[in-house]
Amino acid sequence: AQSVTQLGSHVSVSEGALVLLRCNYSSSVPPYLFWYVQYPNQGLQLLLKYTSAATLVKGINGFEAEFKKSETSFHLTKPSAHMSDAAEYFCAVSPSGNTPLVFGKGTRLSVIA
């Protein structure tokens, strides 16, 4: 069965520093991969998605993620953290376009002024 592992339940960075949130997946077929963000008391919002086109995917709010098949990874990065980036981030996988998304446990990002 497909699964997603997010390393680090809580990541803390200084404002202006690099953001790196890790995601590794297991899937028997080339997957579809997603990053979602959840702000307090809100639903999840799609940040970006990988659907087998370019391996480097650019999303909203300056985030991007790189699909690395050899490492089964899809890490999320942002060059410079902003206070407004503080939220919970979820990585998700779907092994085929028709299979419901499986989410990781989430990583809470804190940004320190």
Partner 1 sequence: DSGVTQTPKHLITATGQRVTLRCSPRSGDLSVYWYQQSLDQGLQFLIQYYNGEERAKGNILERFSAQQFPDLHSELNLSSLELGDSALYFCASSATRANYGYTFGSGTRLTVV
Interface residue list for partner 1 (CB under 8 A)? 32, 34, 36, 41-46, 49, 51, 90, 94, 96-106
Q: How far is the CB of 80 from partner 1 (least distance, A)?
A: 25
CB of 51 or CB of 72, closer to partner 1: 51
In Å, what is the CA distance from 111 to each residue of 3, 4, 52, 54, 85?
A: 28, 24, 32, 29, 7
* Among 52, 51, 49, 53, CA closest to 64: 49
Q: Which is nearer to partner 1, 74 or 106 (CB)?
A: 106
C-alpha span between 92 and 41 (Å, rounded): 20
**Least distance to partner 1 from the beta carbon of 34, Å?**
6
